[in-house]
Chains A and B, each alone.
Chain A
Amino acid sequence: MKIVVLMKQVPDTWGDRRLDTSTGWVDRASSDPVIDEINERALEAALTVAESAKDAEVVVMTMAPGDVSESLKKALAMGCDSAVHICDDSLAGADAGLTAAVIAAAVRAQDADLVFAGNESTDGRGGLVPAMIAEYLGLPHLGTLGDIVVDGSTVRGVRRIDGGTQAVHASLPAVISVNESNPDARFPSFKGIMGAKKKPVVTLALADLDVTAPAGRSAVLSTTVRPARSAGTVVTDDGTAAEQLADFLVSNRLV
């Protein structure tokens, strides 16, 4: 079984994340890049599936400008067998549609049985790319999935949907995007870290891929910064704080 895990490097949510107000794109220089937490869960889920399958191979794939070697190294140290980095200056500012078209082309070339992705990145928050890739590949997609089980040629799980859950399955090949209920990523072992250095990392340019780019593209027209909030009154409870808060709510017409 061949598994491709899609990984996105994002600005750390613990940092001060910014948009470049001239382009509307993520300002990648303003904070440290990390593997998006949801992709760490996707990696963990994929490696868990691979461990219980015969002859499984796991490829981590990312499309990103510049250096992603630390993130790829971490994925390889966790247990992925090889990495693919799609990198091309002409992809700067790619929207969800173009991103999905490019990744779909790279995934197609891998001939994977299962594609794992995160359900939504913390920077774009679009939640579109996995479904788009599935559409490009003509595959089923199980979105926001937890409790993932692969059983022969079927993948099953439970989706988180608005106001409930949904038990679903699909026959392989399929694309799945994982939700936050999936376990945290394992820590790479010393052996994993040493072994990662020898694992292949392939860099692909747009010209290496057979991409059918969409005609429609999204463009950011304007970007404005919202002024930061400032702290208001803080009182320490001396037995009257609840009464003061009730007065505050009344005077602000909030009760």
Chain B
Amino acid sequence: MTTVLALVELTESGALASGAASTLAAAAKIGNPIAIVVASPGKGKNVAADLGALGAAQVVVAESSTVATALVTPSVDALDAAIDAHKADAVFLPNSGDGREIAGRLAVRRRTTVLVDAVDVAKGKNVLIATHSVFGGGFTTTSEITGGIPIVTVRQGAAADRPVAGKPTVSTVAVESTSSSGVIDSTETLASDSTRPELRGAERVVSGGRGLGSAEKFALVEQLADTLGAAVGASRAAVDAGFVAPSLQVGQTGVTVSPQLYVALGISGAIQHRAGMQTADTIVAINKDPDAAIFQVSDFGIVGDVFTVVPQLIAAIEAKR
């Protein structure tokens, strides 16, 4: 039986971070998934039931007194030890900022490398084959690792079969962390609107650009998002202008989304923005410039003013319900 480790991250409040589902689902496609939770002593066990529901056969809580202060390295130490303890054949991590740093350091320790940002995985003769979406979805590649243990980071919301829920066995190990690392002084979590879906992996996204004009007027984007049950996104110009937090940026250097529906409001459709959304099933754009590049990739475009069209659109959708 193939044994795979799946690192799951916790939020500041101790709940499972949202990348856990796709990481475990991808791991379960390759073998028997052991979820690894790295937490301060006494803090990790309460997510075990949630991990069972996501398909973990076994949960290992790696407790380390330095988790709250040492940047990334406690997770590297925990996974390094777990590979030996469980004779693991592969390691899966979320493709989050920390997930990638952990994967990179772990790969150096294990003299291997990383298959990064997998959107899918399948069994292969070298344990597994990962699928990646490159250059904004313009290309699809598959890759494998030879000569070392495969370490894979999984894109949140990646296509993966629903895992079989179970009641996992839970064990606790202590991690000794001696690596030299950065020090965490404080962490600030943005107040997240829990009723609105998260951008990464969302089925519907409504994004706003510089055309919204101000942070106050950006509320229009949120209103349409709530009407459609969508996540909120933004262009880099909207982020740079301070309308929204950087974590909402869609594009080349932001989040890549691939929803059923993407609505672009007051966004010109620069190539770097399109790189983050052009694999959406349906794209809708509203822009007052008839020559805006966003119309080249839209299924339905309106040349018009967002402040006129969007309120009418919200009313029309509500009337049709």
Contact = CB atoms under 8 A, between A and B. Distances in A.
Nearest to A12: B271
A163 B295 contact: no
Contacts of B116: 96, 124-128
Contacts of A128: 100-101, 103-104, 107, 114, 116
Contacts of A98: 113
Given A135-B105, A231-B296, A236 B304 contact: yes
B57 to A, nearest CB: 26
Contacts, number: 288
B78 interface: no
A140 B110 contact: no
A225 B11 contact: no
Nearest to B135: A17
A114 to B, nearest CB: 13
A38 interface: yes
B140 interface: yes
Contacts of A101: 108
Instruction: Give the interface size class of chain B.
Output: 35 or more
Contacts of A66: none
Nearest to B181: A140
Contacts of B138: 17-18, 225-226, 228
A166 interface: yes
Given A163-B247, A237-B302, A254-B260, 12 more contacts: A97-B108, A131-B104, A135-B105, A140-B180, A162-B97, A166-B187, A215-B147, A216-B113, A219-B143, A223-B140, A228-B138, A237-B304
A217 B146 contact: yes
B170 interface: no
B104 A241 contact: no
A235 interface: yes
Given A139-B180, A241-B302, A246 B72 contact: no
Interface of A: 13-14, 17-19, 21, 24, 37-38, 95-98, 100-101, 119-120, 122-132, 134-136, 138-144, 159-170, 174, 179-181, 214-226, 228-229, 231-237, 241-243, 245-246, 248-250, 252, 254-255
B143 A221 contact: yes
Contacts of B299: 232-233
A218 B240 CA distance: 36
B305 interface: yes
Interface of B: 11-12, 17, 71-72, 76, 96-98, 100-105, 107-117, 129, 134-135, 137-150, 179-190, 192, 204, 228, 236, 246-247, 252-253, 260-261, 271-272, 275, 278-279, 282-284, 290, 295-305, 308-310, 312-313, 315-317, 319-321
A141 B71 contact: yes
A162 B145 contact: no
A1 B108 CA distance: 27
A131 B110 CA distance: 14
